Amino acid sequence: MKLFFQKDYFEDEFNSDREEESQRKRNWCERNLIIKDPNSSRLYYIWEIIFLGAFLITIVLVPYTSCQGDDIDYVLEEYTRELEVFLDIIWTINITLSFMTPYEQDIGLSDRFVDIARNYLFPGFVFDVLSTLTLPMSYNPSSLYFLKFLRAYHFPRCINILSRIIDQAVSCCNISKQAKSNVQSIFSQFIILFTIMHMVACGWIYIG
């Protein structure tokens, strides 16, 4: 009879064999392209910060563009075209990385390529592609610019990124939990406000 603290080497060996067999069954994409653990990857964390920055610029830039006058083509051509191209490139990179990023399930991370693709295709992929159509079309027609409202889909993700950044700052500094909560509340309200403005501006552009 095995004692509760004794190690079952046969069970460990069996689990190890199953893990190796599972690894062999994975295709090339799953073995080489899928991000192993996005929650602990430093590079992926940096990417998340870049994406948060792009999202914040987007929800501020679209209201700014809509307030410059009725001629969106002129505003894009003379003032914001380079920045818009940069943001669309960031979104294009995000589309690629989204097919390589495991997602959370009740039992842990799902890192199978087919499952990741199925989870992202709708609505994430559809929204991201539609909101980036202005790039391959060189912002002509500019009537598609209102589709930027679909980027509000990433609002929950950006709130989570912001929370992680604040947690990192709190761990490095001697900040009370109340102060952390206040800072997070202020920044969250800022993002909520500008996301609403972003949606209203896209509606205004659509109406013309």
Regions of the chain short of the pLDDT cut 50? 1-15, 17-18, 21
Residue given tokens 């990417």 in the structure block? 47
If one counts every other C-beta atom within 10 angstroms of the C-beta of residue 200, the result is: 14
The model's pTM is: 0.83
Query: Would you say 141 and 133 are in contact if contact means Cβ atoms under 8 Å apart?
Result: no
Q: Which two tokens stand for residue 186?
A: 């202020």
Rounded CA-CA distance 130/122 in Å is: 12
Chain segment 93-148, per-residue pLDDT in tens: 999 999 999 988 877 788 888 899 999 998 999 999 999 998 888 777 677 899 99
If one counts every other C-beta atom within 10 angstroms of the C-beta of residue 174, the result is: 6
pLDDT score recorded for residue 9: 43
